[in-house]
Structure formats: C-alpha cells, structure tokens
Amino acid sequence: MKKRYFVLMLLVGALSVNSAAFAEEEEAPKYTAGNAVDLMKEDLLAMAEEASEDVASVRSEMDMGMELEIAITGEEATSMQMNMTMDAQMVNEEIFEPYASHQTSAMNLSIMGQSQSENTETYIREEDGERVRYEGYVVNGEVTDWYRSSYTAGDTDSFFLESRAILEQELFELNPETVLDAEGNEYYVLTGEVNLQEDMEEDGLSADVVDLMEELQDSFGEGSLNLPETVTMELYVSTDDMRLREIAMDLSGIEGSVDEDGMTMEMKFTKLAVNVLLSDYNAVEEIVFPENLDESEEDDWETEYEDETDWFEGTEVSIETELAEETEFIGTDEPAEVTGDQDKQALAEEFGVAGFKDTTDTSVNFTAKGTVSDPAGLFEMGKAYLYNPESDMYEQVGLQVTGVTGGEKAAALVNELLNAEGSYYSFSALRNYEEYRVLNYDLYLPKDLTDSEYGLYSPACMLEVVGADGDWLEYNGQGYYASTYTIYDDDGEYHAGDTVHCQAILIMPADLTEYALQFGPYGLDDLFFVAIHE
C-alpha cells in the first residue's frame, strides 16, 4: 500500500492541471507541401508586423496534449508499466480597447486509471481604469461562484502579437516551401530552436512553457528530469493576409527517474505538445458579461487554488490544509463528527482533508466482508469511503459490485464512448493480449451523508485492480498494472438516500479471470475489497 500511495501522490503533484486519456492512433498530417517561397524572411516579418498593427480583437484556441510513460522497478514491482495522459483546451476572445476578454478551458487527466475533467471560465474587464479578473469552476453547465481579483497584464497584453517580439526573433528560419491545410489555405512557416533559459524569457510568449518546465522539475525533485535546453517552435503565417495563424511547440522526449525506498520510477514524456490557433481577427465585437459577476467574492483565485493538486472524484484538496480538531460542515454551524483512529486522522492530514466520517445509517444491510482476508463477492453491499466536497471529508457509502463484462459488449461500449458527440473519453491502446472490460457497481449514498441543495455531481469511487493478497496484480510472473477509467454521468445530481449506478472501463489481459477490486482512497488500509472469479 505504501508504494502505491507514493506513486500516486508523486504523479498527482506533477501537474496542477486536469486532462482525458487519448488512444494511440495514427494522426493524419495536418499540412501538405505547398509552393516554393519567393520572399526573404526579413520581408515576411516586416509584413507580418505591419498586419498586426491594426488588430483590435482576436480569438485564440490553445490545445495541449501529453502522454507520460512510467516504468517502476524494485523488489515488489518488477517491470510495472503505466501511463499518465493529459489533454487541455482553452478558447479566449479578446478586445483590446477598452480591454475585455472571455476565456473557457477544459482540462482532463487520466492517471493510474482514474480520470477526471474540470472546466473553468474567466472574464477580464476594465473597471475604474484597472483590469479586474473573474474566475470560476463550471458545474452542471454554469458558474455560480465567481472569484474576483485584480489583474496585472504586465508590459504586454496576453495576445501574442501585441509585443510582436516573437516575430522579431532572429533564431527563426523561413522554410523554403509553404504548406497547405485541408481547405487549401497556404501558410509560410518559420521554424526555430528556442532556448528555454534565454530566448523563451525574452519573446513575451513563453512564460507558461517555462513555468511548466519548472513545475515538472519541482514536482519530481531537482535533477529528476533531463530537461532539454531548447524547444522546437513553429510559426504559421497566412500568405493571404500575413497574419500569424498558429504557434506550435513540441517538448516531447523529456525523460527522468526518481528513486524512493528501493523503488525506481523511470519516466518518459512521449508526447508533450502545445498548439495555439489564432483566428477571427477584428471580428470579436463584444464580450457579454454574465449578470452574476457582480455577486462575486472578493478573493484571490491563485491563493485559493494554487495548492489544489489532488482532484480525483471532483475533489479540490489543498495540501496546506491542516486537520482541525473540530471541523464544520459547509453551510451549517454544526461541528462534524470525525471518526476513525489516529492513522486515519494522520492520513486525512496528509491528504489535506478534514477527516473521515463513518455512516450510522441502518436502513441498508451492510456486509461485514470486504477485507483482504475476507473479501466481499458480487451483490454484497459493503462500506467504502467516497470524498464529499460538501464536508471536505471521506465519508462512508455503500458499494456493491453488480458485474464485470468483457468481449464484444465491452468493446462496443468503448466504441460508443469514443464516438459520441463531444466525447472527451479516450483509452490506451490494447496490447495483443488485452481486452476492455466494463465494471458495473452501485453506490448507496447514506441518509446521513452530508448533502446540499445541489447534491453530489457524478460520484464515483476510487478503484484499483489488485491481486488476491491486496498487492500488485501479477500476470505471467510479472507485475501488471490494469488501467481503469471511470465513466461519468455528466448530467447526474445525487442526494443522500439515492443509489448511483456507476461504470468503469478496465483494460486487462483477456485470459485473466481471478483478481480483486479495491475501492477507496490510496494509502488507506480500511478499503472495500471485492474478489472476482470469472
């Protein structure tokens, strides 16, 4: 258990952004070869700079994709393999005089089989000669709580062309041929190897990339990652209007390792790419601000959320939060009763949550089974811990596994999820000996569960596939990691007393028929344990 918890915390701390897994697919080339370039780089840069001078508004779309391969070796984890995948999109519309902007972001992360997505929305506008920022989480399609803070733009606006420094860098070379996109639009291409320590800090564009590198290094420990000295950057300028249309950066190939308690974790970022698309020049005429911005709290978003790195199951957990002797339920003056021994309270402090709460609901017949030595079976309702953001606690809920399905039925559901309109699901590619399986389980939310007007949004329990002894799963004499992906009910809203029908996708060897399912937060010994014999 200790090693699993160490790996989880290490990886969760790697990025404070959110993401969904993506399958390993061959992507069709975005551009094809165009015509020979008939102008000098200096002429192109001069025309591009001139074209940027009359920009009054713009739309930008950023996409970041990452795939991290992890290999763990040690006495208890031989040839263990796992992946962490991340995808983030951001859309921003800006008007420069007077300044106003609206940004939406969708970030998704899949790590150790647990997937979670998060959407945020940001507005910036001028008030009494100063810029003010409003930020909030999108829940059930809307933001109900805005956080207001002052905004300092620095020497330049966030629009990349405002400083034009990036187009003035001598390090970029003009490619001898243009490229064409799928619609036949033609672009000049400038390519450069940008130094992460020098050029990146001077071009007015790269602070986010530098911050990402520093966060990765800090998260894994100084010297754990072999960061590149340079990053490849490409600029695409339209041949029609000489406006910058795309910025592409590729940081793939970063490697590193971490040693801890006789265990070595090797890491490789097989994909770490950022693309920014620029469009709708001077077409954004108005930013419409929601009426409830005026109801925002005077708060600093960065201070409120900068330490929130554990966000599985919709959890926002501050690592700096201290465990109080008496905690209060949100929205009440009643102190919450924290139960459990000192180990649980110590773990709660390590998680950064208020504690653990056991249910006293007697309306359901809970089985006494569910331990490693006495596992529960199918349709046996046991007790598991589910994080409840209303109380900032792991609270006991009922959980019963109702079945595991593989073969064509599971493959059909995966295909349906991947091809649904607006789908953010994606799954690791199968090895030749693996298959998809669909896990079905029910969560009973006890009547004494901390509730609110809005209830819990798409609850799901943390899950891991393990061996019969509760340790690493083994297959063919080697340690094996079974990926799990939670399927979320995006429209679900549940209250105390409800039963939630949950699903998860498992990736496992097709001929592996005996294993166990472990439900609950990693690091806790009091988990709900279900033995599966197919």
Mean pLDDT of 517-526: 80
Is residue 389 a contact partner of residue 315, using CB atoms and an 8 Å limit?
Answer: yes
Region class of 403: left (phi > 0), else alpha (psi between -120 and 50), else beta:
left
Tokens of 312: 């599985």
pTM exceeds 0.75 for this model: no
Q: What is the DSSP letter of 197?
A: T
pLDDT of residue 389: 84
Q: Smallest Cα–Cα separation from 308: which of 319, 298, 299?
A: 319
The residue type found at 51 is A
For 153-209, the pLDDT digits (tens) are 543 344 444 334 555 556 788 999 999 998 899 999 998 877 665 544 454 444 555
pLDDT of residue 28: 59
Listing DSSP states for 290-316 in one string gives PGGGGG-EE--HHHHHTTEEE-GGG--
Tokens of 338: 């924290």
Residue written as token pair 């409830």: 292
Q: Which of 235-244, 376-385, 419-428 has the lowest mean pLDDT?
A: 419-428
Rounded to whole angstroms, the Cα distance separating 247 from 61 reads 10
pLDDT of residue 300: 46
Q: Where are the alpha helices (DSSP H) in 316-406?
A: 342-351
| Position with higher pLDDT, 7 vs 433 | 433
Is residue 83 a contact partner of residue 67, using CB atoms and an 8 Å limit?
Answer: yes
Rounded to whole angstroms, the Cα distance separating 34 from 44 reads 17
Q: Smallest Cα–Cα separation from 415: which of 23, 65, 19?
A: 23
pLDDT of residue 128: 85
